[in-house]
Amino acid sequence: MTGLTEQWSDALAAAPQEPAPAWLRELRENAVGQFRAAGLPHRKVEAWKYTPMTVFDGLRLTAAEPVPAPVADLPPPLCESSVVVDIRDGALGEVPADLPQGLTVLPLATALERFEERLKPLFEAVELRGATRAFAALNTALATQGLVVHVARDAAGGSAAGRLLLRWGLSAGAAATMGQFRLFVLLDDGARLELVEQYLGSGEAPGDGAAGLNVLCQAELGAGARLSHTRVQAETEQAVLLTSTMLEQARDSRFVYRGFDLGAGLARHELTTRLTGPGAEADIAGAWLLDGRRHVDNHVSVEHLAPGCASEQFFRGVLGGRSRGVFNGRALIQAGADGSSVRQSNANLLLSPLAEMDTKPELEIYADEVEASHGATVGQLDEAAVFYLRSRGLTDGAARRMLTAAFCRAVTDRVADPILAERIGGLLDAAMPSGEQL
Amino acid sequence: MNSDQITVDTSSVDRFVQQKYKHGFVTDIESETVPPGLNEETVRWISARKGEPEWLTEWRLQAYRNWLTMQAPDWAHLKIEPIDFQAISYFSAPKSDKDRPQSLDEVDPKLLETYDKLGVPLHERARLAGVAVDAVFDSVSVGTTFREELKKAGVIFCSFSEAVRDYPELVRQHLGTVVPPRDNFFAALNSAVFSDGSFVYIPRGVRCPMELSTYFRINAAETGQFERTLIIAEDKSYVSYLEGCTAPMRDENQLHAAVVELVALEDAEIKYSTVQNWYPGDEEGKGGIYNFVTKRGMCRGDRSKISWTQVETGSAITWKYPSCVLRGERSVGEFYSVALTNNFQQADTGTKMIHIGRDTRSKIISKGISAGRGQNAYRGLVRVAKTAKNARNFTQCDSMLIGKRCGAHTFPYIEVGNPTAKVEHEATTSRIGEDQLFYCLQRGISEEDAVSMIVDGFCKQVFRELPMEFAVEAKALLEVSLEGAVG
């Protein structure tokens, strides 16, 4: 057992039991046991071979209730006309009471009673065994903070724009704790929700110490339900952010994901969706623009378990400084899932001699009537294109920035709302790594 | 096109899928075999039995001690029952080895008969085809032809044991420099107990006058085979090496863990071709060879080139990643592969291209075909080190699925640490083209011929890299393994 595993195991053992239903208390005890047994993942664990575990050193686990911070501290909302919920350092802020028809947003503790029948199987469905599941086990054991979002049958969740905004903030230095947060998104048949998450720092000047957050999100999409999920992450380099999103998609449901990683010392996002009903679709796209010593891991897994489902994974990365990007895309087509279509693509620009990109697009196919393709590239800007722009009077730097921005536009263009797309584009421009003259 | 409009008679399919292994027979030769089990004594015994110098005995023992601390890899996409390494016999030599034949005329006729059944009349066909054959029958080399002709060119082509005896300094200088004894679990095991294999040395400036070829054959029941091959190409030299194998039918799973090391110095080129057709197990997935191979080539010199071509149709389990370490500036690595799995065969195979030197280039073309309940995985690594300025890689891996219960998987690892590198990977997976089949059928071509044509076309990029005779053999093999496997 490594020092950190030991330290965290002790913290788990010392954590007081929060009041909860008996089944949940049992589950939490089990999670503690599983974590102690398997410990934290390390480089020899295939799914974690590229993730630097040293960033967790110095982060403490705490079971103490986090104190919600004043809302004013957080950066302004990324999009208007939204129902906004703030979560700072893993502590849930005030949940708006005045919600549109069909939308329910409740703190986990309150929701456990009302949605017990639906939450219990979801809690139980999370695999906790083994080192790869260490953070899921930690989350189950410690996440007393959480949020449950429910959209009733055929209703559009959120405000007039059909939108719910989660505004996260991590304040560096202050606590140096590894916060835990649980999120549930339940969409009944035909329900629609546009979920936007922003991780744009706490609004404070970055401190010295690290701040960690481990978020586990489970979403259930009923038949014909639509979930649009946009996530913009530009935390400070002190932030250690682990997020895991697990979806179950019923017949004809549609999941659209747009993820942008511009920050954090370490950001690791695991996104898994299971297409359990025929005709379900997952349209997943993302981009990362990294500079400094940032490290971003994106692990996407789409499981085709029913016939006639379609999925796409489309990711683009730009890496400068000493940054490191990791992409692990997986598409599984189970036997019997005929008529499936899978597309996977990951293109990257390496701008600096010290940056590194590790990409692994995987296909696992057990059915024959399918169409599957994937592609991955790592390269640099087309020098002929740079020359063309320079011949038109642009400076070398401007030409390169323009081409890099155009490279990322392929993802921002896929954000449906043009205003949101424009704002994200602006953030991307601001975060553009300074490429060196090669 | 609507698939409902096409009805395909599947009876011929079933018949061909059920086809028995054509090379299934056992030659009755008495073998000298050590009892099953592995300990330091076994390692010493093997080394002493082969009359090896002390440094090699120590080298083996060190590898064995390393092996004890290692664990069998579990990351491959393979379902394998745990292997009991103490239940395997680690050495087997044909009995007639005691008075080693001086020429092929003296070779045990039963042995020659075996080659005959395989369609490899050692002395005749080899001469006609201009191929020198160093045949490995189980663990000991029994005959080498064309040695004289090669000697004139200065080429050394002999069994590994002979090389240890006659050229110890060459062996000692290069052994384990490409695949270190503690490289991985199976390489460590091989280093401890390797039985025999081939040794090739091409001197500076020499273009090897013929294609060198070795036929391997696993024969004695429950005996693992652990060959060790070492090929050294000095500056400005060229060699093409062919390796092919078939094995008799057997019930017990047999372990096979070979190590192949290639060293290419300045401006040297090594072309290594393999046709692997070991016993794949029966229709129920019973028996078959477990094939865990470590093959690696080191492009040590500038402008050197190593090219791997493989056609893998046999074995119950294939775990094999022929790799190139591109250290020399402007060195080139190539990998061309056709892997076929039928019935319950499982393959996890691919390559590693490690770019270290400037302006290094690599190309990967992989074709996977899955039929029956076969599971076929491509696993490849392309790593561009910080030092590999202007490195270039192109990877294409396509999979074809024939049938409802098979699987085709792709696990490409791409690690790029230099901003001037260009790395491209593309892959597709699809079933055998129904429109193509239909087209052929309505032109009066029988179904199995049509499948054979389509598969042949699918694999063409790889086959054309094979030396002529090998390409013919490979094509025939694929047909035998697959004929009519469509439904």
Question: CA A83 to CA A398: how far, in whole Å?
Answer: 39
CA distance B230 to B376: 29
CA B479 vs CA B19, B314, B384, B448, B483: distances in Å = 11, 13, 38, 9, 5
Contact between residue B351 and residue B462 where contact means Cβ atoms under 8 Å apart: no
CB contact under 8 A, B410 and A361: yes
CB proximity A120 to B under 8 Å: no
How far does A350 lie from chain B, in Å, by closest CA?
5
Could you tell me how many residues make up chain B?
487
Amino acid at the residue A418: P
In one letter, which amino acid is B217?
Answer: R
Identify which of B401, B411, B419 has the shortest CB distance to residue A353.
B419
* Nearest residue to B439 via CA among B449, B429, B427: B449
CB A298 within 8 A of CB A315: yes
Establish if A157 belongs to a structural domain: yes
Of A220, A251, A277, which closes a domain? A277
Q: What is the pLDDT of residue B116?
A: 56
Name the E strands within A109-210: 146-151, 163-169, 178-187, 192-199
**Is B418 in Cβ contact with A350 (below 8 Å)?**
yes
Comparing C-alpha atoms, which of A329, A179, A322 is closest to residue A241? A179
Residues with Cβ within 8 Å of residue B267, at least 6 apart in sequence: B235, B236, B301, B302, B303, B304
Q: Using one digit for the tens of pLDDT, what is the confidence trace for B28-54?
A: 555 567 778 888 988 998 898 888 999
Q: What are residue A216's DSSP bridge partners?
A: A182, A244
Q: What is the pLDDT of residue B88?
A: 82
Which of A359, A376, A438 is closest, CB to CB, to B420? A438
C-alpha distance from A320 to closest chain B C-alpha (Å): 9
**Closest chain A residue to B76 measured between Cα atoms?**
A46
Distance, CA of B61 to CA of B70 (rounded, Å): 14
Give me the residue from A351, A369, A378 closest to B416, CB to CB: A378
A372: nearest CA partner in chain B: B429
Give the mean pLDDT of B404-428. 91
CB B302 within 8 A of CB B469: no
pLDDT of residue B476: 73
Residues of chain B positioned with their CB less than 8 A from the CB of A357: 414-416
Count the neighbouring beta carbons within 10 Å of the beta carbon of residue A387: 12
* Residue whose token pair is 């979801």: A122
The CA-CA-CA angle for residues B355, B360, B363, to 5°, reads 85
Distance CA B281, CA A327 (A): 37
Question: How does DSSP classify residue A265?
Answer: S
CB atoms within 10 A of CB B312: 25
Tell me the shortest Cα–Cα distance from B78 to chain A, in angstroms.
13
Residue A133 forms part of a structural domain? yes
Transcribe B356-405 into DSSP letters.
-STT-EEEEEEEEEEETT-EEEEEEEEEE-TT-TT-EEEEEEEEEEESSS
**Partners of B415 in beta bridges:** A358, B383
Q: Across the interface, do A350 and B408 touch by the CB < 8 Å criterion?
A: no
ipTM of the complex as predicted: 0.82
Looking at A259, A277, A295, the residue that finishes a domain is A277
Cβ–Cβ gap B425/A372 under 8 Å = no
Whole-structure pTM value: 0.83
Q: What is the pLDDT of residues B259-311, one digit of tens each?
A: 999 999 999 999 999 888 777 877 777 778 889 999 999 999 999 999 999 98
Query: Is the Cβ pair B423, A362 closer than 8 Å?
Result: no
The token pair at B32 is: 């000298």
Helices (H) and strands (E) in chain A, counts: 8, 19
Contact residues on chain B for A373, CB-CB shorter than 8 A: 426-429
Residues 6+ apart with CB under 8 A from B10: B487
Which one, of A134, A159, A147, lies nearest residue A80 by Cα?
A159
Residues of B with CB under 8 A from a CB of A: 75, 77, 384, 386, 399, 401-431
Residues A251 and A103 placed together within one structural domain of the fold: yes
The residue-averaged pLDDT of A295-312 equals 96
Residue A305 within any structural domain of the chain? no
SS3 B29: coil
Report the pLDDT value the prediction gives residue A211, as an integer from 0 to 100.
Answer: 83
Could you tell me the CA-to-CA distances from B341 to B227, B352, B407, B480 in Å, in that order?
Answer: 24, 21, 9, 12
- A interface test, pick of B402, B411, B432, B437 with most A CB neighbours within 10 Å: B411
Q: Which of A242, A277, A312 is the last residue of a domain?
A: A277
> Which alpha helices (DSSP H) does A86-200 contain, by range?
108-114, 116-125, 134-142
A426 within some domain? yes
Separation between Cα atoms, residue A380 and residue A404, nearest integer Å: 9
pLDDT tens column, B132-148 = 455 544 444 444 456 67
Distance CA A42, CA A130 (A): 12
Q: Cα dist. A354→A291, A292, B138, B387 in Å? A: 10, 10, 50, 11
How far is B365 from B376, CA to CA, in rounded Å?
A: 15
- What domain range is A113 assigned to? 3-277
Total domains in chain A come to: 2
Of A335, A365, A376, the CB nearest to B414: A376
Cβ pairs A/B, distance under 8 A? 113
A409 lies in the same domain as A270: no
Distance of CA B163 to the CA centre of its chain: 21
- Flag if B426 and A374 touch (Cβ within 8 Å): yes
Q: Is any Cβ of chain B less than 8 angstroms from the Cβ of A363?
A: yes
| Residue A17 shares a structural domain with residue A149 | yes
| Higher pLDDT pick, B437 / A437 | B437
The pLDDT-based confidence of A208 (bands split at 50, 70, 90) is low
| Residue A92 CA to its chain's centroid (Å) | 18
For an interface test with A, the pick among B415, B420, B434 (most A C-beta atoms closer than 10 Å) comes out as B415
A377–B424 C-beta distance less than 8 A: yes
Quick check: B275 and B473 in contact, CB under 8 A?
yes
Lowest mean pLDDT among A125-129, A184-188, A207-211, B36-40: A207-211
- Burial, A371: exposed, middle or buried (Cβ in 10 Å; 0-12, 13-18, 19+)? middle
A residues 21-50 lying closer than 8 A (beta carbon) to B? 46
Distance between CA atoms of residues A235 and A203, nearest Å: 10
Judge contact between A267 and A233, C-beta under 8 A: yes
Closest by Cβ to A360, choosing from B412, B424, B430: B412
Strands A295-304 and A324-333: parallel
Q: Is B71 left (phi over 0), alpha (psi -120 to 50) or beta?
A: beta
pLDDT in tens, B51-94: 899 999 999 999 999 999 998 888 888 888 888 888 888 876 65
Whether B427 sits inside 8 A of A375 (CB atoms) is yes
Is A263 a domain residue?
A: yes
Would A321 be classed as within a structural domain? Answer: no
Asked if residue A79 lies in contact with residue A422, where contact means CB atoms within 8 angstroms, the answer is no
| Chain A 288-317, residues with CB within 8 Å of chain B CB atoms | none
Domain presence at residue A129: yes
Cα distance from B339 to chain A (closest Cα, Å)?
A: 16
Cβ(A98)–Cβ(A110) below 8 Å: no
Q: Determine the average pLDDT of the residues in A199-216.
A: 77
DSSP state, residue A156: B
Distance from C-alpha of B60 to C-alpha of B52, rounded to nearest angstrom:
11
H helices present in A165-297, as ranges: none
The predicted-structure confidence for A5-54, as pLDDT tens digits, reads as follows 888 888 888 877 778 889 999 999 999 999 999 889 988 888 898 988 88
Contact A363 B419 (CB under 8 A): no
Q: Which residues of chain A does B77 touch, with a Cβ-Cβ cutoff of 8 Å? A: 364
Is residue A226 within 8 Å of A253, Cβ to Cβ?
yes
- What pLDDT, on a 0 to 100 scale, did the predictor assign at position A131? 87
Q: Is the pLDDT of residue A437 over 50?
A: no
pLDDT band at B26 (very low <50, low <70, confident <90, very high): low
Q: What angle do CA B177, B89, B84 make, to 5 degrees?
A: 90
Over residues B234-261, the pLDDT tens digits come to 999 999 998 875 544 454 557 888 999 9
Per-residue DSSP letter, B96:
G
Q: Are A377 and A344 in contact (CB under 8 A)?
A: no
Average pLDDT taken over every residue of chain A: 88
- Of A14, A20, A41, A72, nearest to A182 by C-alpha is A20
One-letter amino acid identity for A404? Answer: T
Would A171 be classed as within a structural domain?
yes
Half-sphere exposure of A285 (CA within 13 A, CB side): 14
Nearest to B416 among A350, A375, A436 (CB): A350
Q: What is the 3-state secondary structure (H, E, C) of A293-339?
A: CCEEEEEEEEEECCCCCEEEEEEEEEECCCCEEEEEEEEEECCCCCC
The C-alpha of A157 sits at a distance from chain B's nearest C-alpha, in angstroms, of 39
How far is B334 from B249, CA to CA, in rounded Å?
33
How far, in Å, CA of A410 to CA of A7, rounded? 44
φ, ψ at A116 (rounded to 5°): -50, -45
**Dihedral angle of Cα B53, B56, B60, B63, to the nearest 10 degrees:** 160
B407-416 vs A356-365, strand pairing mode = antiparallel
A9 and A131 housed in the same domain: yes
Distances (CA, A) of B385 to A50, A433, B389, B391: 15, 21, 8, 9
Comparing CB atoms, the residue among A351, A359, A366 nearest residue B419 is: A351
Given a contact cutoff of 8 angstroms between Cβ atoms, the answer to whether B140 and B94 are in contact is yes
Q: A243: how many CB neighbours lie within 10 A of its CB?
A: 23
How far is residue B192's CA from residue B65's CA, in Å, rounded to a whole number? 9
Give the pairing type, strands B346-349 and B375-384: parallel
Instruction: Check CB contact under 8 Å for A372 and B429.
Output: yes
The verdict on a CB contact (< 8 Å) between A365 and B399 is yes
B interface test, pick of A299, A365, A370, A380 with most B CB neighbours within 10 Å: A365
pLDDT at A63: 61
Average pLDDT, chain B: 80
Is residue A256 helix, strand or coil? Answer: strand
DSSP B223: B
